[in-house]
Structure 1
């Protein structure tokens, strides 16, 4: 009898704790637009963002809903207007990458559809206008003096490229993050940068994710941006915040 009572009491206590957690308001750490800050944009490339890109069938709906193409351009503009350095972390696959012996589901898909393919890491032959190339409207910014293009990441996160090194070498400790795609490269960059001691805010509508019949990558990404980053901005909110500076 005593054991049954204790179990009931324990279950009641757990239930009350769960209700308290469910009713608790999430804290707002906030993110000040000041100090050694940079904008980081992942994969602003044709294969993700153009109707001609190989991934458009999966991400196009989300791109259109979020106004992602224009919002990413706004991030480039904000960097230029406010003297904030911009870092681009691209995604490229070279012939040797197609020799990998094992892959995750979407890695395999990307290789199968030749996403982000480039002829060579030491040649730009065939790059112009390919799926690996930048969206045309971004080129004027990427070719500008305040943009650093890191080496390519290979799966989703920046562990395999020099993004963190480039940020550290320029004295950056705060990052505003956007780009493609939300629940893969953007989220992976957010997690890794946070683990490496950067303060990170995400611009939720300057990204987009695959939406499939039984999977909503955009919804998953936005939830994790909210739960993990210091601040989840809309592009409009970010523009407003920067206008105050």
Structure 2
């Protein structure tokens, strides 16, 4: 599969402090893997290369607002954990990390309250308005929000290129297992270096 740069966008899921920073609310679960895979640096390189190649860049974020915290306990352990730790709160741990701060051309989809962006935010409309058919996807957390939105994107008719080392989860085993499952769903699973070469070649053309 060769990327058509006219119909491809970069989608970064949850480039936020609580899942990426060393002092984030979920750092004890995630940061060793985030650091090992150099996720922030790779997402920054992908974002810059995509911008140079003229691709739209979209962020999808998860924000827990006061009204969410006032709701009854969630039916999912991950949501219970977010509430217990006060994680992904607007203007706090839900803030985007400085290295990935939005540029004037970054498109921010309406924030999610849960894992799924398709059907719950304006993401699909933003993509279709730009004629996008292929999504390059990375971000956090691989076997939660990223996986949920890879599956949803495919069911909404998009082809997905998943960047395997520009995302992380809690362990090497969980990472490998999720990629094995998503290999049946994503059109391509690539490493950052391979995709950067493709984007840089397009930008230079």
Whether TM exceeds 0.5 here: the answer is yes
The superposition leaves residues 171-200 of structure 1 with CA deviations (integer Å, 9 ceiling, x where unpaired) of 111110001110111111100010000111
1:237 aligns with 2:189: no
The superposition leaves residues 60-102 of structure 1 with CA deviations (integer Å, 9 ceiling, x where unpaired) of 1211221111111112111221111100000101111113333
Q: What CA distance in whole angstroms lies between the structure 1 residues aligned with 2:2 and 2:30? A: 29
Which deviates further from its counterpart, 149-158 or 86-95?
A: 149-158
The size of the alignment, in residue pairs, is 200
5+ long unaligned stretches in structure 1 = 1-29, 119-126
Contact map agreement 1:36 1:171 (CA 8 A) in 2 = yes
User: Structure 1 residues 150, 190: CA separation in 2 closer, same or farther (over 3 Å shift)?
Assistant: same
Helix, strand or coil for the counterpart of 1:165? Answer: helix
Contact map agreement 1:33 1:241 (CA 8 A) in 2 = no
Partner of 1:25: none
1:190 aligns with 2:190: no
The superposition leaves residues 99-120 of structure 1 with CA deviations (integer Å, 9 ceiling, x where unpaired) of 33332011111111111112xx
5+ long unaligned stretches in structure 2 = none
Could you state the TM-score of these two structures normalised by the residue count of structure 1? 0.77
Task: Choose from 126, 132, 136 the match for 2:94.
Answer: 132
Could you state the TM-score of these two structures normalised by the residue count of structure 2? 0.92
Larger RCO, structures 1/2 (Cα 8 Å, 6+ apart): 2
Helix, strand or coil for the counterpart of 1:228? Answer: coil
The superposition leaves residues 179-226 of structure 1 with CA deviations (integer Å, 9 ceiling, x where unpaired) of 111011111110001000011110011100123xxx943223222232
Q: Computing the radius of gyration over CA atoms, which structure comes out larger, 1 or 2?
A: 1
